[in-house]
Amino acid sequence: MEVTWIAILASLCMGIGAGLVFVFAVKRNYFRDLEDAKYQVFWSDLEELVRSPQAGGVDHDDDKSRQTEG
């Protein structure tokens, strides 16, 4: 029974902590432009995909060396 009360108390503390972090973030205006973060993640993932040789991306250095050799 003692472990149950400890678990309840710990979950309440974590919930209150998360609520305080959320209120702090709202007051500091951290949620003002969520679309910008979405596009940053999208473009960085797309950039990695283009540069990746396993995904069939083009390595521009190899193209230049082939052009000078041929």
Between CA 17 and CA 12 the distance in angstroms is 8
> Which residue is listed with tokens 């052009």?
67
Kindly report, residue by residue over 20-52, the tens digit of the pLDDT.
Answer: 999 999 999 888 877 887 778 878 877 777 787
Of 70, 45, 50, the closest CA to residue 60 belongs to 50
Question: Which residue stretches of the chain are H helix?
Answer: 2-27, 34-51, 60-69
The pTM assigned to this predicted structure is 0.48
pLDDT band, very low/low/confident/very high, at 60 (cuts 50, 70, 90):
low
Between CA 23 and CA 49 the distance in angstroms is 37
